[in-house]
Chain A
Amino acid sequence: MSALGTYAANTWCPGCGNFAVLNAVKPVIQELIDEGTRREDIVLVADIGCNGKIVDYVGVNTFGSLHGRSVASAMGIKLANPALKVIVHLGDGAAFAEGLEHILFAAKRNLDITVIVHDNGVYALTVGQAGPETPPGYRGRSTPYGSLEEPFNPLELLYVAGASYLARGYTHGIPLLKRLYREAIQHPGFAVVDTLQVCVTFRNLYKQYNERVYELEGHDPRDEAQALARIREWDYRSDGPVALGALSVRERPVYGAHFAESGAQPVDVEVGLAEVFASLT
């Protein structure tokens, strides 16, 4: 077994964008370990979908959760042990359809976890149905005559909900992905990297993306006007330019800190129970 690897055989399709995510996140974890983070303090949480298989391929603590519920599980893990670095991998179907409530509320709370969205705009593992980021007209098995729905802009939604770090990456370009994942993991608060991850089997967008993506330069993600302008620049359906990089960074109080304060001096349970029973008398 290699460093941070496992004996699990990789079953992603050749050319799958998930390889780029794996090859970006694993070196970042290794870097963090080399810099002093304990391997035992890292937890990857996976959702359901091709992306979720990533937990089998990385030799750290992992929690394979339910579809759409990975972020909600991650909340419990982080609240239970704030020393853990919790990184969630999920697809756009999980993040923005089945589990939309959880990602919005985690953003609202500014839970200190990292969410890596494997955003391919399609349900791949279930063989190619339209997803929340699929443009109208897409023909999949559940929309044989073309999808009717418009996608929404997930980053704008997350910005409004309060996510304190928002970035967009692309699976052609591992150095940028590594930089963004590292920033996101180190950011104190709710960090999302929407990763344009191409599904070579059901929705191969390499050509379109290659023509439109550009890496942000001179952008100040802490400036609200600039952040919103870049977030709104591409609406996830039209042919506009697609900015890659850290789009928005904000400082907000992190959820869960109050537990550490209130729990500083827990009372002996037996003594506490006696007190409560007395108060109910």
Chain B
Amino acid sequence: MDSFSVLIGGKAGDGITEAGSMIAHLLNELGYRLYRHVDAPSLIRGGHNFVIVRAHKQRISAHRDHINVLVALNEETIRKHEWRLKQRPVTVFDSETITLDALPAMAHPFRTGIPVKSILAQEKAPPVMRNSAILGALCKAISIPWPVLEGVITRYQPKMTQLNLRVARRGYDLATEKLLIDLPGGGPVPVVGGLEAAGLGLIRGGLKAYAGYPMTPASGLLHFLARQAPRFALKVVQPEGEIAAMMTALGHAYAGERAAVGTSGGGFCLMVEGLSLAGQAELPIVVALGQRAGPSTGLPTYTAQSDLRFALSAGHGEFPRLVLAPADVEQAYAWSTLALDVAWKYQLPVIVLSDRTLNDDSQSFVAEAVPRLPRLAQVDWDGAAQDDDPELAYKRYLQTEDGVSPLAFPGREGATVKANTYTHDESGITTEDAEVTVQMQDKWARKADAMWQELDALPLVNVYGDPKSPRTLVTWGSPTGAAREVGELAGVRVVQPVVLSPFPTRQLENAFAGSRQVAVAELNAGAQLADLLESHGFDVDATINRYDGRPWAVGELRQLVEEVLA
């Protein structure tokens, strides 16, 4: 088999997410490329959690609905996921909590149950170790050699490793082999979530400070950077709210430190006044905006792409910005670096749109798949006087040809750095002068032009599938992973704009060349990207929208695409 999927399910609090990670580690060791999809409701205990780990010999960025292996810690898991079972499904289950009657008929020939409670009792192991027994049984059932499991447990369960190993061994010994999977070899690669990839990309971009207030699905970035803070000398703070996070980050930027904030829609609402300040005062800032189903509190732990319009237009007044939406971990890494570079070179806010799926699902990180983007250098003040008056030697908002004023920061010898929320003159002194007002707004326009000249030379639009097909599927962000596979399976052209503002019209025209039919798939009800395309003169023949909080599996999207693209 080139590809298969394992689902593990149970109650929230059963450690399903962690067990899913262990399964991913096991398959990673064997040389598979992975996609780990997590479905966890917004609660701490009770409720149903499940993780699908999909393994493939090639790089993948989406899950599939159908599964080959079901690992069930309770009967609810079987009831809820029975429909996903393909032919000859392997079922690994706790035979002391699940009766054989609960298993569907097709599962019986390939089932292997183990008595988890008895195993734990024999080893005098705490209940939390039940997943070690189950993992042992899973490895036997799908023919993962014992030393691989031994290595993974030793590495990833540093606490009570020996006991975990004994529990796992019992599970392994009591289960029976049901499926012989391939061992592709080639060794493991990093398996990362979108937030980790974004965090690493920001660090590569020179991040020095991060301010965030907990909010799903962005908290992971706060957690990850907080953990990495000592290694990279990052200043990571959790202030009193999103407003404070934004304003603190802008303070860092004013004082010369590259900073970012991360949040979801509701938190971004609170940050928006600060976004306008960044526009007016020309303060560089990166906002990692992880979308979830809204409006308001919505479905906190489920996904959506319904904040595109919000990101494009957030803030009062008119100021340039960059809005981009990476699709997978490699893109998240590369574009997060570029986001900081652009913010600092052109001194404006950059919004990196992601969603619950990209943020919290994880994928094999394949170095060769990282987009090759250049590093951009910020423009620093050369120290030469900008005025005859020595006290005006440095002008924070000096008018230049490309609208970019060289940067200096407080503490710099000879510079008086005046950043201002009011309309201001070149030195940063408040003005209400009509002419200066126009000059400053025009300066931002030149800055935006210069940015676009540089960016439009980069690959802002990706094309996958069959690039010559007259049938075109357009999508953005996390559904791109499923769309890419649909493109390959159904012979459809797939177009993904990474940059959404400014709109990459020229590159989209190239991507659409020869196309006769265009469908736009996105995780919202309002067809926001489709609208955006039409407003820029592109024809959209069909829209495919999903707004139940769930991402598309490959098969689901394929069916929808084939319905509208004949």
Contacts and interface: CB of A to CB of B under 8 A. Distances in A.
B240 A7 contact: no
B309 to A, nearest CB: 24
B192 A53 contact: no
B418 A62 contact: yes
Contact of B430 (A53, A61, A280, A281): A53
B249 A41 contact: no
A124 B171 CA distance: 74
Given A41-B411, A61-B410, A101 B240 contact: yes
A29 to B, nearest CB: 13
Contact of B191 (A59, A72, A280): A280
Interface stretch (A77-85, A143-151, A172-180): A77-85
Nearest to B410: A61
A81 B255 contact: yes
A65 B429 contact: no
- The majority secondary structure among interface residues of chain B is mixed
A76 B249 contact: yes
B190 interface: yes
B411 to A, nearest CB: 5
Given A72-B243, A269-B232, A280-B192, A65 B277 contact: yes
A76 B261 CA distance: 12
B354 to A, nearest CB: 18
B248 A79 contact: yes
Nearest to B392: A1
B281 interface: yes
By size class, the interface of chain B is 35 or more
Contact of A40 (B191, B273, B414): B414
A45 to B, nearest CB: 8
A280 B365 contact: yes
Contacts of B421: 48, 64-66
Interface stretch (A129-137, A227-235, A270-278): A270-278
A195 B96 CA distance: 72
Interface string A43-77: 10000100001011001111111100100111111
Contact of B208 (A60, A62, A80): A80
A210 B453 CA distance: 63
A8 B247 contact: no
A262 B233 contact: yes
B483 interface: no
Nearest to B230: A262
By size class, the interface of chain A is 35 or more
B349 interface: no
Contact of B250 (A55, A76, A101, A266): A76
Interface of A: 1, 6-8, 38, 40-41, 43, 48, 53, 55-56, 59-66, 69, 72-81, 83-84, 101-102, 104-105, 259, 262-267, 269, 272-273, 275-278, 280-281
Given A40-B414, A62-B417, A76-B255, 17 more contacts: A40-B410, A40-B412, A53-B430, A61-B416, A76-B248, A79-B251, A80-B209, A80-B256, A81-B257, A81-B410, A101-B244, A102-B244, A272-B231, A276-B228, A276-B231, A277-B190, A281-B188
Interface of B: 28, 188-192, 196, 200, 203-204, 206, 208-209, 211, 228-233, 235, 237, 239-241, 243-244, 247-257, 259, 273-274, 277, 281, 365, 389, 391-392, 409-422, 424, 427-430
20 contacts: A8-B430, A38-B411, A56-B429, A61-B410, A63-B419, A64-B281, A64-B428, A73-B250, A75-B239, A75-B251, A76-B253, A79-B252, A80-B251, A81-B411, A84-B410, A105-B244, A266-B231, A267-B232, A273-B203, A280-B192
